[in-house]
Every structure is written in C-alpha cells, then in structure tokens.
Amino acid sequence: MTIVVTGATGHLGRHVVAQLLEKVPAGQITAVVRDPAKAADLAERGVRLAVADYNVPETFDGLFTAGDKVLLISGNEFDKGRVAQHTVVVDAARVAGVALLAYTSAPGSLTAALADDHRATERVVRASGVPYVLLRNGWYHENYTENLAPVLAHGSVVAAAGDGRITSAARADYAAAAVAVLTGEGHENTVYELFGDTAWSLTEYAAEVGRRSGREIGYAHVSPDALVAMLTGAGVPEPFAAILAGVDVSIEKGELAGGGTDLSRLAGRPTTPLTEAVGKGLAALDALKD
C-alpha cells in the first residue's frame, strides 16, 4: 500500500508529506508533482515522485494501484475548470481500485461561490464508488498572516467581513488531520468538518498584529464591491477578487465561525493559535529584510 499525495509541492501538500515522513517509511509515499525539480528535496529523502498534471488526464493513467490511499488536494487554478481537473484524479482512483480517496473540500456551512467547485467535486467523489473521506477544511490562518506587508504598509486590515468571526487554523493543523486519515483506519465514507479551536474577528486580528508589530493597526470594513475594486487595482484577476469578496460576505454571516472538534481530535492536539501564526508571519517579513 502506498500513500499518494497530489499537489505535493503546494503549501498544504508540503506539510502533508513532511508529516507523513514522521509516520511511515519514505518509500511508502508518492508525491504527485508537475515539476520534479521543485520536489528534489523530497526525492532525496526517499519519497517516490510521480509527474502528473490535472490538466493532462493521461498523466494519471496507471499512477495509482489497488490498495493505495490517495489525498486529492484541490487545485487552485480557478480559471481552468477545477471540477474537471479533480474528476481526472477521481476517475483514475476508481479505475485503479484504491482503498481510500480523501479530498480537501470546503466547510458545509459555506455558501460563497468558492464552495461551488468543492460541492460539485464531492458529488463526483461520492458517485465514483471509491471509499472516500471529505476533509472540509475551514479557513487558513495563512490566508491573512502571509499577506501582512500591505497591512503594515497602510496600517489597516481591509475586508468586507463586518464583525463576523472566523475559526481558522494553520495549514499544518489541516495537514495533521489528513495524515491521521491516511495512516489510520475506519475513516471510510466519512465527512469531517474541520475548524480551529478558537473563533476571532478581524478587529481582534488587527489588534494582535498591532500589538506584535508595535504599530497602530486598525480594521476597515468596506463593501464587497469596494473590496473587489481594491483587489483588482492591486492586480488580482476580477473573477478571483469577486470570489474573495464573496467569502468575506460569508464570514459576516457567520459561515466560517466553525464548531465541533473534528480537527483537533484528528490532529491529536489543540490547533495552532492565531497569535502564533501572526508571530510567524511577522518574523517571515523581518527575515526578508535581512
């Protein structure tokens, strides 16, 4: 049996592979990548590399074998038909007869357009007949803490999320849940709603950034249209800017406020506090200055 991770050199994929290496021999892990040069460090540690691309279906022919456990990490190419991309992997898993197919989805509470591709992919996964796990990942701390430069430059967190609360967690936390599923037993045909342990607001986030940076940081609530205009002005493609603004609307409605303990239970530990993620984000910015 091999554990296969798609998108293995992405932000989440790297965390998953790193944590798998703490649990199973490297020879039992296959990292699916588009560019093997980006995974040279994984190959040096004994991880098997498989070169495949969601946009080239034939590259998945014969990639999986019966009994494999597969983690399908959702694609991030919003303009290339993510459901079709994901279906390529699901079909290959079905033909091979894998033992388990885990998919990184979005919370069931999320009604924003961002969730549409995930819901459609979930239907494809369920219809495949392959034993599955739906990992409905909540929002990542890093969605904010890896974008601190403009916050510090302008002294403001700008969003259209109102006073909505967010129960996010670190990528490493979501990776730990995925690893628990891939290395454990009894998870077949299960849906996990994965959120952090503690909810917070963007006002609280701005205050924490200010406290740690020693600067005055506020939170500016703007309309969704104004946010789209700001993002497109900064170079974000308009369709993706609209998706991000839609998530903010969902946050204001409380759709990412979370609930339950699936994530910390699967990870086997409390989730990473937002304060720790803010500290890491600021440290990373400082490192770039050195």
The pLDDT tens digits of the residues spanning 116-165 come to 999 999 999 999 999 999 999 999 999 999 999 999 999 999 999 999 99
The pLDDT value recorded for residue 33 is 97
Token pair 């919003």 is found at 78
Helix (H) or strand (E) holding 100: strand 100-105
Task: Inform me whether the pLDDT recorded for 279 exceeds 90.
Answer: yes
The pLDDT tens digits of the residues spanning 56-103 come to 999 999 999 999 999 999 998 877 789 999 999 999 999 999 999 999
Residues 140/168, Cβ–Cβ less than 8 Å: yes
Long-range contacts (CB closer than 8 Å, 24 or more residues apart) made by 261-266: 261/197, 262/177, 262/192, 262/193, 262/194, 262/195, 263/138, 263/169, 263/173, 263/174, 263/177, 263/192, 263/194, 263/195, 263/196, 263/197, 264/173, 264/197, 266/176, 266/177, 266/180, 266/181, 266/192, 266/194
Task: Inform me whether the pLDDT recorded for 290 exceeds 70.
Answer: no
pTM of the model: 0.96
Task: Provide φ and ψ at 166, rounded to 5°.
Answer: -125, 130
End-to-end distance of the chain based on CA atoms, in angstroms?
A: 45
CA-closest candidate to residue 138, choices 279, 12, 268:
12
Residues 6+ apart with CB under 8 A from 155: 215, 216, 217, 218
Q: What is the CA radius of gyration of the chain?
A: 19
Q: What fold characterizes domain 3-138+169-194+259-271?
A: Rossmann fold (3.40.50)
* Tally of CA atoms within 13 A in the half-sphere of 117 that contains its CB: 19
Q: How far apart are CA 68 and CA 28, in angstroms?
A: 10
CA-closest candidate to residue 247, choices 144, 148, 102:
144
Task: Inform me whether the pLDDT recorded for 52 exceeds 90.
Answer: yes
The pLDDT value recorded for residue 258 is 87
DSSP assignments along 145-194, one per residue? HT--HHHHHHTEEEES-TT-EE--B-HHHHHHHHHHHHHSSS-TTEEEEE
The pLDDT value recorded for residue 289 is 76
Query: What are the extents of the domains in the chain?
Result: 3-138+169-194+259-271
Q: Please report, rounded to a whole number, the percentage of residues in the chain having pLDDT higher than 70.
A: 100
Q: How far apart are CA 151 and CA 168, in angstroms?
A: 19
Q: What is the arithmetic mean of pLDDT over 264-287? A: 96
Long-range contacts (CB closer than 8 Å, 24 or more residues apart) made by 118-127: 118/74, 120/83, 121/74, 121/82, 121/83, 121/86, 121/87, 121/90, 124/83, 124/86, 124/87, 124/90, 125/90, 125/101
At residue 7 the predicted structure's pLDDT band, cuts being 50, 70 and 90, is very high
At residue 1 the predicted structure's pLDDT band, cuts being 50, 70 and 90, is confident
Q: What is the arithmetic mean of pLDDT over 204-216? A: 97
- Looking at every residue in the chain, the average pLDDT score rounds to 96
Report the helix count and the strand count for the chain, using DSSP H and E.
12, 11
The pLDDT tens digits of the residues spanning 163-180 come to 999 999 999 999 999 999
Task: Inform me whether the pLDDT recorded for 198 exceeds 90.
Answer: yes
* Tally of CA atoms within 13 A in the half-sphere of 125 that contains its CB: 31
* Tally of CA atoms within 13 A in the half-sphere of 62 that contains its CB: 0
The pLDDT value recorded for residue 199 is 97
The pLDDT value recorded for residue 79 is 72
What 3-state DSSP class applies to 219?
strand
What 3-state DSSP class applies to 19?
helix
The pLDDT value recorded for residue 260 is 87
